[in-house]
């Protein structure tokens, strides 16, 4: 048993004392596949993608303003009206009669039909349309960068969660390894008690140690289930698929540390927003210029079954006038129009000022975000470097703990120490091993945070 113990400890020591240059990529290929799946199913990413689609439709809507607008109109109606008409009086000296003297009451009944088609196209709008289109395209770019930012958050969270799962697997292996050794010692003590060579106290201490390991296993199982559910919430994968993903939890070396945050998606989104505001400013300035448009139309009018009654005329009384129809042959109109809002109560000036304020707000946000991301980058660099140093300390602790456990095992076999001292060496070895793998997890998380802060995490996933 002692030979087997020494062999297991040697294998474990060789496993942790690896060459960092041979470390695996920061994200396992299987996890990369899961992350890509999450990009397709995550609801937050979908909602942000819908915003991009809406912005693209807005671009198409603005572009449509440059095309001719054609409309057709068809009308039919019945008209009934009464009123009075006062025309200038015309004197007829020969008859000594004045025509149209005084106001004349009338009544009109008719039916009318109208059909027409018209075309209108904007020729010049003070460059409002092209600048508005460019502003919306930059808005699309900004929202696309925000989608990328959301993807980076998802990728980081999923990668860290899988690393936490792998840490639980490493802890589980440590528990199983300790459990095997303690059960071997328990069998030996039971035989020794039977032969009168040991006391029940030693057996009880081993039993307590085994119960504590069982308690840790139950805790591990609960934590594993929570982590799996968290991954399922992000990816919609089944439990079996998540459990099938296994990889070794080893440190990661970044060959070169990021030096700036210019690739950060949030900063790119703010830069695109800044360009959009610049185009929007030009658009609002152009609104002060006149709008020139061309227009044309063709229409047809038919007034039929008309009855006009002119009442109370001198000498003749009421006059009844009827017509079968009054048709207007198709009328064609072509021309150029201009519209210029000379004064609109300061509305244009206010809009220009609003855009200027939005530009200042966006610029301030970008400066603030860049400063905070730069500070966060420095912090994460320090965390990554500190984590690497902690790994070196952890490796040395494992070497010392392994040697102590080997020595304690030999001394216990020789009867030089009791079971309490053996269990103390076992517990110390377990703690340093657990601390080492916790440091590995922390180092990997620091590397992920460093890549995320610099905006290069998605680039790592696509490699």
Is residue 313 scored above 50 in pLDDT?
yes
Quick check: 279 and 158 in contact, CB under 8 A?
A: no
pLDDT band at residue 321, thresholds of 50, 70 and 90?
confident
Is residue 182 packed enough to be buried (19+ CB in 10 Å), middle (13-18) or exposed (0-12)? buried
72 φ, ψ to 5°? -125, 145
2 compared with 459, residue with greater pLDDT: 459
Quick check: 270 and 362 in contact, CB under 8 A?
A: yes
393 compared with 304, residue with greater pLDDT: 393
| pLDDT recorded at residue 23 | 38
Mean pLDDT check: name the lowest of 72-81, 252-261, 315-324, 429-438.
315-324
Selection from 78, 98, 82 nearest residue 90 by Cα:
98
Token output for 253:
């070396």
- Give the integer Cα–Cα distance in Å for 145 and 248: 33
| pLDDT recorded at residue 315 | 56
pLDDT band at residue 196, thresholds of 50, 70 and 90?
low
Is residue 380 scored above 90 in pLDDT?
yes
The one-character DSSP state at 27 is: S
| pLDDT recorded at residue 278 | 94
| pLDDT recorded at residue 340 | 84
228 compared with 193, residue with greater pLDDT: 228
How many CB atoms within 10 Å of residue 60? Answer: 10
| pLDDT recorded at residue 1 | 41
| Residue 60 Cα distances to 57, 130, 138, angstroms | 5, 12, 14
pLDDT band at residue 376, thresholds of 50, 70 and 90?
very high
423 compared with 243, residue with greater pLDDT: 243
DSSP-derived pairing of the beta strands 317-339 and 69-85: unpaired
328 compared with 238, residue with greater pLDDT: 238
Quick check: 1 and 184 in contact, CB under 8 A?
A: yes
Query: What residues pair up with 76 in beta bridges, in sequence order?
Result: 113
- Give the integer Cα–Cα distance in Å for 80 and 63: 45
| pLDDT recorded at residue 330 | 80
Mean pLDDT check: name the lowest of 194-198, 219-223, 299-303.
194-198
Percent of the chain with pLDDT over 70: 85
| pLDDT recorded at residue 304 | 81
Is residue 13 scored above 60 in pLDDT?
no
Q: Please name each of the domains of the chain with its CATH number.
A: 2-65+125-290+340-462 (1.20.1600.10), 68-84+103-124+291-339 (2.20.200)
Is residue 374 packed enough to be buried (19+ CB in 10 Å), middle (13-18) or exposed (0-12)? middle
Alpha helices in 42-121 (DSSP H): 43-64
Is residue 176 packed enough to be buried (19+ CB in 10 Å), middle (13-18) or exposed (0-12)? exposed
Is residue 274 scored above 90 in pLDDT?
yes
| pLDDT recorded at residue 411 | 86
| pLDDT recorded at residue 102 | 65
Strand order in the sheet with 317-339: 69-85, 104-124, 291-313, 317-339
Is residue 11 scored above 60 in pLDDT?
no
Contacts of residue 63, defined as CB under 8 A and 6 or more positions apart, other chains included, come to: 129, 133
Is residue 198 scored above 90 in pLDDT?
no
| pLDDT recorded at residue 151 | 92
Q: Rounded to the nearest 10 degrees, how much is the dihedral formed by the CA atoms of 257, 262, 265, 268?
A: -170
Instruction: For 97-114, write each residue's pLDDT tens digit.
Output: 666 666 777 788 888 888
The one-character DSSP state at 20 is: G
Is residue 162 scored above 60 in pLDDT?
yes
Token output for 248:
């070794």
296 compared with 182, residue with greater pLDDT: 296
Instruction: For 334-363, write each residue's pLDDT tens digit.
Output: 889 888 888 777 777 888 899 999 999 999
Is residue 69 scored above 80 in pLDDT?
yes
| pLDDT recorded at residue 281 | 92
Contacts of residue 460, defined as CB under 8 A and 6 or more positions apart, other chains included, come to: 25, 26, 27, 451
Token output for 36:
């890509």
Q: According to the per-residue pLDDT averaged within each range, which of 98-112, 159-173, 298-312 is highest?
A: 159-173
- Give the integer Cα–Cα distance in Å for 234 and 236: 6
- Give the integer Cα–Cα distance in Å for 269 and 140: 9
Mean pLDDT check: name the lowest of 16-25, 50-59, 145-154.
16-25
**What is the biggest distance separating any 2 CA atoms in the chain, rounded to whole angstroms?**
161
| pLDDT recorded at residue 8 | 47
Mean pLDDT check: name the lowest of 29-33, 57-61, 313-317, 405-409.
313-317
Helix/strand/coil percent split, the chain, to 5: 65, 20, 15
| pLDDT recorded at residue 428 | 85
């Amino acid at each position: 048993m002692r030979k087997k113990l020494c062999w297991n400890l040697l294998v474990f020591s060789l496993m942790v004392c690896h060459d960092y240059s041979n470390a695996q990529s920061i994200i396992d290929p299987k996890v990369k596949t899961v992350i890509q799946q999450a990009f397709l199913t995550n609801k937050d990413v979908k909602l942000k993608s819908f915003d991009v689609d809406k912005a693209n439709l807005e671009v198409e809507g603005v572009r449509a303003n440059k095309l001719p607008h054609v409309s057709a109109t068809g009308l039919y109606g019945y008209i009934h009206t009464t009123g009075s008409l006062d025309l200038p009086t015309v004197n007829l000296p020969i008859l000594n009669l004045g025509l149209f003297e005084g106001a004349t009451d009338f009544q009109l009944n008719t039916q009318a039909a109208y059909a027409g088609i018209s075309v209108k196209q904007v020729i010049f709008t003070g460059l409002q349309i092209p600048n508005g289109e460019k502003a919306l395209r930059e808005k699309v770019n900004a929202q696309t960068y925000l989608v990328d930012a959301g993807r980076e958050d998802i990728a980081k969270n999923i990668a860290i969660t899988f690393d936490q799962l792998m840490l639980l697997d490493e802890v589980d292996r440590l528990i199983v390894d300790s459990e095997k050794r303690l059960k071997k010692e328990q069998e030996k003590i039971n035989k020794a008690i039977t032969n009168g060579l040991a006391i029940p106290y030693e057996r009880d201490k081993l039993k307590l140690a085994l119960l504590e390991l069982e308690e840790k296993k139950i805790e591990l199982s609960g934590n594993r289930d929570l982590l799996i559910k968290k991954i399922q919430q992000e990816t919609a994968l089944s439990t079996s698929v998540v459990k099938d993903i296994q990889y070794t939890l080893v440190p990661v070396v970044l060959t070169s540390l990021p030096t700036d945050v210019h690739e950060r998606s949030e900063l790119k989104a703010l830069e695109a927003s800044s360009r959009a505001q610049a185009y929007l400013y030009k658009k609002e300035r152009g609104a002060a210029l006149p709008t020139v448009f061309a227009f044309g139309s063709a229409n047809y009018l038919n007034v039929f079954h008309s009855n006009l009654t002119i009442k109370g005329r001198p000498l003749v009384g009421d006059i009844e006038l009827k017509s079968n129809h009054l048709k207007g042959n198709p009328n064609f109109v072509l021309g150029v129009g201009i519209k210029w809002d000379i004064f609109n109560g300061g509305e244009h000036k206010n809009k220009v000022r609003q855009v200027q304020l939005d530009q200042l707000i966006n610029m301030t946000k970008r400066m603030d975000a860049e400063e905070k991301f730069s500070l966060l980058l420095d912090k994460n660099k320090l965390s990554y470097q500190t984590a690497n140093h902690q790994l070196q300390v952890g490796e040395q602790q494992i070497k010392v703990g392994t040697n102590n456990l080997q020595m304690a095992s030999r001394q216990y076999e020789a009867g030089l120490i009791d079971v309490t001292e053996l269990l103390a060496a076992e517990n110390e070895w377990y703690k340093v091993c657990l601390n080492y793998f916790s440091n590995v997890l922390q180092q990997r998380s620091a590397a992920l945070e460093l890549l995320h802060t610099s905006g290069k995490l998605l680039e790592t996933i696509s490699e």
